[in-house]
Amino acid sequence: MRYFVAVAEELHFGRAATRLHMSQPPLSRAIKQLEADAGALLFARSPTGVTLTPVGTVLLDEARALLDHADRVRVRVRAAAGAETLTIGILGDGTDPGVARLAAAYRRNRPAIDIRIRDTDLTDPTCGLRAGLVDVALTRAPFDETALTVRVLRTDPVGVVLRADDPLARRDGLRLAELSDRRWFRFPRGTDPVWQSYWHGGSPREGPVVRAVQECLQAVLWNGTVGLAPFGHDLPAQLAMVPLTDMPPSRVVAVWNKGDTNPLIRSFIEIATAAYRH
């Protein structure tokens, strides 16, 4: 139903897939299965997008009501069980020391809260937030912030990751233009375009497709590609990082759905802000 609502609101499978942080083929299959279950077409398809059929219009109202009801049921069940749960999405970068400080601070302040973690790769900068899979995300900006609230926790300078034996690795600093003739890593098609543009240095790139931090580092090691990364993380001895003098810093952020009044999110943001300040 969440997939259906996304397509119905975007009226375009590609945009809906981007919003849901998934590729288009499984989304199309899910909608076709839903149409098979309903016994009717939900969308009229065209090369420029889709429009809702009369059946789809009826289902959209019902789907929104069902999703709202499911959210209320989840809250009531948690309350009846006597346990409050907060699901946190974390971008696949487990070496950030800020996460460890935040975890320790949260356990001290809210020991009764059941925390669930959803680790995501680099293709989903909002960590499942738009798809309703998490309550709040710890991630890096920039990305499409439509209908989201973003709190900046820290900013990190960004450098270029190169093989240690690359002649450019001996430089004290580089500019993006000096890397224009190099192969870079790329993210899969459908990844948030704002996120892609930042980590691709503002221009479309050619190179191996990666989904995770380790895949990016291995692409540099094996293929001699260049990749961007925030400073503050350990690298293998075979790799080196050189500061990029014209690259805006990377922002570590906490993000949640705009209008979400869950008090657990509010307290989490307060603790996170204090933990990252130190």
pLDDT digits (tens, 9 = 90+) for 124-139: 899 989 888 899 999 9
* DSSP secondary structure, 7-69, as one string: HHHHSSHHHHHHHHTS-HHHHHHHHHHHHHHHTS-SEEEETTEEEE-HHHHHHHHHHHHHHHH
Tens of pLDDT along 29-73? 899 999 999 999 999 998 878 999 999 999 998 998 888 787 777
Q: Ramachandran region of residue 172, left (φ > 0), alpha (ψ -120 to 50) or beta?
A: alpha
Dist CA 183 CA 173 (whole Å): 19
The answer to whether the pTM exceeds 0.85 is: no
Dist CA 209 CA 211 (whole Å): 7
Q: And the tokens for 25?
A: 């083929």
Dist CA 95 CA 234 (whole Å): 8
Q: What is the pLDDT of residue 162?
A: 95
N-term to C-term CA, the chain: 42
For residue 3, the Cα-to-chain-centroid distance in whole angstroms is 17
Q: What is the pLDDT of residue 151?
A: 96
Tens of pLDDT along 73-118? 776 776 666 668 899 999 876 567 788 889 999 999 998 888 988 8
Amino acid at 129: L
Answer yes or no: is pLDDT of 242 > 60. yes
Helix axes 97-109, 263-277, angle to 10 degrees: 130
* DSSP secondary structure, 197-220, as one string: HHHTTTS---S-B--SHHHHHHHH
Q: What is the pLDDT of residue 94?
A: 55
**b/e string for 171-193 if b means 16 or more Cβ within 10 A?**
eeebebebbeebbbbbbeebbbe
Dist CA 79 CA 112 (whole Å): 13
Give Cα separations from 211 to 92, 186, 187, 198, 203 (angstroms).
9, 9, 6, 15, 19
- Residue closest to 113 by CA, chosen among 278, 273, 262: 262
Work out the mean pLDDT of the chain and round it to a whole number: 88
Dist CA 102 CA 247 (whole Å): 27
Q: How would residue 246 be classed by pLDDT, with cut points 50, 70 and 90?
A: very high
Domains and CATH numbers, the chain: 2-80 (1.10.10.10), 85-154+252-277 (3.40.190.10), 158-248 (3.40.190.10)
Phi, psi of 187 (to 5 degrees): -95, 155
